[in-house]
Amino acid sequence: MRRATTTAQMLVRATGVVQLLLGGLFWTGNALDLVPLHQTIGFLLVFGLWTLAALAARAGVRPPLVALAAVWGLVVPVLGLNQTRLLVGSAHWLIEVLHLLVGLGAIGQAEALAARVKERLAAVA
């Protein structure tokens, strides 16, 4: 289970870095033709988060933390895929900031779950 946890954690880290770089490009009005790639990589990030949530549940991590990550994994793509329709106009930057914070939250939750799984595994060993 340690190898699966590390693999999922590395997936979230790698996709997270790419997402931040692409998001920065989009925010400055560049590379907008890469939005479909950003969406695909976002789904991979969510898959990594959900994998870590499943591993955490199996390792006995507190259920509220696992449930929060599972639900958060639904919020990320729903917000991402619908953000162009939210607060259209001069206030749209608020949605962009929210999208960034939700994505960072997903990465942070993945890191927290991975750490707790590894702690549990170390306690058992």
Q: What residue has token string 């999208």?
A: 99
- Give the mean pLDDT of 79-107: 94
pTM: 0.94
In this predicted structure, what is the pLDDT of residue 54? 98
Show Cβ contacts of residue 34 under 8 Å, excluding neighbours closer than 6 positions: 22, 25, 26
Q: Where are the domains of the chain?
A: 2-124
Per the model's pLDDT, the better-predicted residue between 123 and 106 turns out to be 106
CA dist list (Å): 58 to 6, 53, 91, 103, 114: 15, 9, 42, 24, 12
